[in-house]
């Protein structure tokens, strides 16, 4: 394949459109979703941004570094976490949302599986719902349709260790997107996430990256979210979570070359640079 300026612009002309509340994102390159944890017990950066002032400052810093989306979460979903109530989760994220919605230049996503929290966030201006339970609850689908938000639908089902992860993901995507569309969510608002680290073995988590192209559902944006996760640590000697930046970049690069449109990360500046190189390589693949 000979790469020309026309070839490079061809990706933009045929880029996926992800409709979110109030507009659409043209995914003509890899988008960076910056993680903003406002929780004391995140596996990676728990407590680091638990005050409103620190959280807001970090959001602005991620935007300066090149984040395309800020994803705000008030509850840890690490293995073995202790769930908190919807009320407590809302108390954590509400003041941060109030300081950011309409005041930063990129869309805001809310990372929650509580429908009532998602609805309140939308009322304040959140444009994307990121639900680690994959929009399992009918109420979450109802609010997503009502507020016309973008939806990150994540696979979070315990798999048998012998299961073929790509086949399982594709079947889940087909079933859940059908449910979402039936309940009034436009297909153009759905982004799919394989759920790295959720209900999968170490081998299956590696297969997600190695065979990313096989699990892409045609026409739907795909998100990869392996930042600092256990699969990264297990592959490189189990360094502390904060020292897994390079491993995260390696994993996400494989996903980008397989067709991922968005990567969800803690380390934005490093991810922006890595994604730019991966994108430059991707358009040159035969």
Active-site option among 21, 189, 228, 264: 264
Give the C-alpha separation, 75 to 108, whole Å: 17
Residue 283 φ then ψ, to 5°: -75, -10
Distance, CA of 116 to CA of 122 (rounded, Å): 10
Q: In sequence order, what DSSP letters do the residues of 40-95 get, joined into one string?
A: TT-TTTTTTT-SHHHHHHHHHHHHHHT-SEEEEESS--STT-----HHHHHHHHHH
Query: Which of 141, 229, 230, 244 is an active site residue?
Result: 229
Any catalytic annotation for residue 264?
yes
Tell me if residue 48 is catalytic: no
- Going by the DSSP 8-state scheme, the letter that residue 134 receives in this structure is -
Say if CB 74 and CB 92 are below 8 A apart: yes
| Token pair recorded at residue 208 | 């997600």
Q: Please write down the HEC assignment for all residues of 162-210.
A: CCCHHHHHHHHHHHHHHHHHHCCCCHHHEEEECCCCCCCCHHHHHHHHH
Q: Which of 193, 79, 174 is nearest to 129 (CA)?
A: 193
User: Please, are residues 208 and 196 in contact by the beta-carbon 8 Å criterion?
Assistant: yes
Active site residues: 229, 264
């Amino acid at each position: 394949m000979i790469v020309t300026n026309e070839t490079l612009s061809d990706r933009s002309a045929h880029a996926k459109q992800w409709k979110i509340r109030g507009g659409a994102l043209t995914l003509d390159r890899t988008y960076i979703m910056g993680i903003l944890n406002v929780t004391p017990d995140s596996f990676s950066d728990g407590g680091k941004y638990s005050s409103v002032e620190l959280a807001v400052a970090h959001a602005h810093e991620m935007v300066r570094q090149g984040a395309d989306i800020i994803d705000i979460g008030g509850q840890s979903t690490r293995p073995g976490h202790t769930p908190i109530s919807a009320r407590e989760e809302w108390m954590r994220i509400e003041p941060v949302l109030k300081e950011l919605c309409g005041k930063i230049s990129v869309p805001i996503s809310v990372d929650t599986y509580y429908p009532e929290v998602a609805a309140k966030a939308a009322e304040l201006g959140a444009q994307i719902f990121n639900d680690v339970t994959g929009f399992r609850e009918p109420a979450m689908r109802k609010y997503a349709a009502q507020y016309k938000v973008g939806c990150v639908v994540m696979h979070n089902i315990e798999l048998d260790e012998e299961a073929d992860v790509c086949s399982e993901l594709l079947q889940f995507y087909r079933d859940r997107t059908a449910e979402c569309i039936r309940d009034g969510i436009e297909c153009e608002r759905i982004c799919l996430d394989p759920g790295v680290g959720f209900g999968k073995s170490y081998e299956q988590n590696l297969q997600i990256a190695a065979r990313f192209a096989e699990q892409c559902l045609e026409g739907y944006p795909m998100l990869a979210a392996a930042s600092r996760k256990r699969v990264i640590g297990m592959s490189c000697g189990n360094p502390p979570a904060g020292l897994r930046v390079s491993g995260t970049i390696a994993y996400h690069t494989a996903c980008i070359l397989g067709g991922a449109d968005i990567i969800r990360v803690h380390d934005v500046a490093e991810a922006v640079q890595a994604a730019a190189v991966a994108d430059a390589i991707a358009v040159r693949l035969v």
